[in-house]
């Protein structure tokens, strides 16, 4: 069996791995899969906050027999009483251990996950929230929509060009929610940055922005927020979720 230093390091850091079992698989579109996992020990004590994510250990046969790699996925729909939670996978065309593993899932398949301590909360002064990203950020965006108070207006911008994008899970709220699919242009993230500028053109007072997705896309959005809108660092958070052409390891 290939030596797995990542697992060893995390074990030394006392990061606990929790067993999970697939119980349901749903495909809102052929390229986006929602998987419900049974994990009573994990779901019961879980402190849920927006964008909560975990490290999923998946087989990586290219690295050796029995080798496991970790990939980040956002936790959605935690139901402690039923001992379940869900992850949503973009089933991307380029091969990758997590995407490939997710493509083959059926009820009964088991894996391990580890929680991450990253904690994020909305600043108290925020009166408008902008959530931007690509479709890997959709679960996190939905997790924000679930908790943002109704008094705060929310605008969602997701750069996604598939014709069946309207079938993807979109959470509702009673407060104001503007949702826009942004059709990608020739360069990833450029169209999204344009949409960010348009959204912010009414002024940035009380505006808090959160963005995630592919690295170049996030770079475009960050530049629009900082240079285009002049948004303070404290009024924005962004995270690279994946890098085009590069495996997460
Ligand atoms: C905090 C966090 C939360 C995340 N939440 C989610 C989530 O809820 N749902 C989700 O689907 N992803 C999520 N991601 C992104 C996911 O971890 C990456 O897409 C990851 O690279 C997938 O691993 P892989 O093994 O399939 O591909 P890798 O081995 O990492 O990459 C192999 C190849 O596939 C390409 N690739 C990877 N991801 C994509 C993609 N989405 N589209 C097109 N090409 C891709 C890479 O550029 C590379 O060329 C999250 C990432 C982070 C850091």
Q: Which atom of ligand 1 is nearest to the CA of 90?
A: 11
What's the mean pLDDT in 188-200?
A: 97
Pair (76, 157) in one structural domain: no
* Stretch among 9-13, 51-55, 90-94 having the lowest mean pLDDT: 9-13
If you measure from the C-alpha of residue 124 to the centroid of ligand 1, how many angstroms do you get, rounded to a whole number? 32
The pLDDT, as a whole number, for residue 194 is: 98
200 to 131, 157, 193, 218, 227: CA distances (angstroms) = 12, 12, 11, 16, 12
Pair (132, 230) in one structural domain: yes
* 3-class secondary structure, 147: helix
Report the Cα–Cα distance between both ends of the chain, in Å, rounded.
18
The pLDDT, as a whole number, for residue 40 is: 94
CB-based burial label for 30 (10 Å; 0-12, 13-18, 19+): exposed
pLDDT > 90? residue 4: no
Query: Where does a domain end: 70, 88, 115?
Result: 115
pLDDT > 90? residue 10: no
If you measure from the C-alpha of residue 97 to the centroid of ligand 1, how many angstroms do you get, rounded to a whole number? 9
Pair (76, 104) in one structural domain: yes
If you measure from the C-alpha of residue 13 to the centroid of ligand 1, how many angstroms do you get, rounded to a whole number? 24
If you measure from the C-alpha of residue 205 to the centroid of ligand 1, how many angstroms do you get, rounded to a whole number? 34
* Stretch among 6-15, 31-40, 61-70, 186-195 having the lowest mean pLDDT: 6-15
Pair (106, 135) in one structural domain: no
Among 84, 45, 90, residue whose Cα is nearest residue 72:
90
Domains contained in the chain, number = 2
What's the mean pLDDT in 49-55?
A: 95
Per the CB < 8 A criterion, the answer to whether 99 and 91 are in contact is yes
Q: Cα 2–100–68 angle (5° rounding)?
A: 25
* CA–CA separation, 89 and 136 (whole Å): 8
What are 186's two structure tokens?
């020739």
Average pLDDT over the chain, rounded to an integer: 94
Q: Is the CB of 89 under 6 A from ligand 1?
A: yes
Pair (135, 214) in one structural domain: yes
Query: Which residue matches tokens 């290939």?
Result: 2
87 to 76, 141, 173, 187, 203: CA distances (angstroms) = 6, 13, 21, 28, 35
Pair (148, 238) in one structural domain: yes
* CA–CA separation, 171 and 213 (whole Å): 19
**Maximum Cα interatomic distance, the chain, rounded to a whole number of Å:** 58
Instruction: Give counts: helices (H), strands (E), the chain.
Output: 6, 12
* Cβ within 8 Å of residue 207, ≥6 positions away: 126, 127, 128, 129, 130, 200, 229, 231, 235
Pair (83, 139) in one structural domain: no
DSSP-derived secondary structure letter, 10:
H
Query: Where does a domain end: 88, 115, 142?
Result: 115
pLDDT > 70? residue 248: yes
What are 91's two structure tokens?
């089933």
- At 119, the pLDDT band (50, 70, 90 cuts) reads confident
Among 234, 28, 6, 245, residue whose Cα is nearest residue 122:
234
Q: Is the CB of 27 under 6 A from ligand 1?
A: no
Nearest protein Cα to ligand 1, atom 7? 73
Name the residue range of residue 16's domain. Answer: 5-115
Count Cβ atoms below 10 Å from residue 48 Cβ, excluding itself: 15
Residues facing 29 on adjacent strands: 32
């Amino acid at each position: 069996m290939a030596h797995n230093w990542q697992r060893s390091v995390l074990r030394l850091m006392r990061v606990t791995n929790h067993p999970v079992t697939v119980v349901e698989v749903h495909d809102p579109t052929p390229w986006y899969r929602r998987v419900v996992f049974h994990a009573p020990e994990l779901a019961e004590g879980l402190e849920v906050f927006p964008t909560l994510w975990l490290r999923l250990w998946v087989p990586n046969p290219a690295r050796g027999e029995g080798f496991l790699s970790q990939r980040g996925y956002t936790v959605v729909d935690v139901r402690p009483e039923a001992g379940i939670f869900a992850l949503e996978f973009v089933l991307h065309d380029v091969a990758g251990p997590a995407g490939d593993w997710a493509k083959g899932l059926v009820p009964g398949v088991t894996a391990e996950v580890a929680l991450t301590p990253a904690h994020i909360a909305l600043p108290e002064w925020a009166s408008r929230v902008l959530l931007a990203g690509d479709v890997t950020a959709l679960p996190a965006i939905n997790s924000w929509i679930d908790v943002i108070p109704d008094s705060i207006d929310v605008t969602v911008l997701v750069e996604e060009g598939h014709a069946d994008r309207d079938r993807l899970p979109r959470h509702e709220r009673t407060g104001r929610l503007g949702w826009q699919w942004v059709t990608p242009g020739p360069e990833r993230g450029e169209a999204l940055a344009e949409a960010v500028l348009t959204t912010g053109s009414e002024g940035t007072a009380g505006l808090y922005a959160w963005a995630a997705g592919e690295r170049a896309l996030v770079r475009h959005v960050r530049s629009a927020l900082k240079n285009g809108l002049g948004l303070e660092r404290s009024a924005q958070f962004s995270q690279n979720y994946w890098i085009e052409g590069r495996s997460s390891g």
